[in-house]
Amino acid sequence: MGTTVGGRSWRRRVRLGVGAAFVLYGLVSLGLPAALGWPWRLPLPWVAGLLAGLPLVLAGLVLQRLSWRALGGARALGGELFRDGSESRLICHGIYGRIRHPLYLAAMALLVGLTLLLRLTPLAVLSALFLVHFVVVASGEERELRRRFGAAYDAYRERVPAILPRRRRRRQG
């Protein structure tokens, strides 16, 4: 069984690290507002939260679905995380033909949307933590994909923006 980063013990460490990060983020997002005396609810009228949050949640769900469709369910859930470059392929179709990190964008849209809908301060803190997390993890993924796919990834990266899609130009004719 080929692995890019060291076999089963590496997998276990990654899974434990991810689990520990989620627990830590949960504790910080609950503890920080309490320690600083911040209100439990954000000072945002519920109508504003609904009008701003619902479209973000819906956009996040659509992006997530498009991402899973392009990747396939097992891969979307990390099924190729530890495979050799020779055992995996670069996905450049579907939503991945428009942005390189649609799952991170989907997760942020969902988190920020839920924060606005529920108007909870701990969710705002959690959103900020995950934004930093996603930036760090995405840069690591970019390095790994460059190592795995070389020039093909360089060309893809040149063509496709990381997070926000470019506007398509209208054809003249």
Which mean pLDDT values do the consecutive 10-residue runs of the chain (173 residues) have? 50 76 88 94 96 98 94 64 63 93 96 97 95 91 90 95 80 59
- Could you report the per-residue pLDDT of 88-105, keeping only the tens digit for each? 788 899 999 999 999 999
- Asked if residue 80 lies in contact with residue 88, where contact means CB atoms within 8 angstroms, the answer is yes
pTM of the predicted model as reported, rounded to 2 decimal places: 0.80
Helix, strand, coil distribution of the chain in percent, nearest 5: 70, 0, 30
Residue 59 belongs to some domain of the structure: yes
β-pair partners for 120? 41
Residue 166 belongs to some domain of the structure: no
Residue 58 belongs to some domain of the structure: yes
Gap between the Cα atoms of 131 and 53, Å rounded: 17
| Nearest CA-CA partner of 157 in 112, 90, 110, 103 | 90
CATH of the domain at 149: 1.20.120
- Asked if residue 101 lies in contact with residue 142, where contact means CB atoms within 8 angstroms, the answer is no
Dihedral sign of CA atoms 19, 23, 26, 28 in order: negative
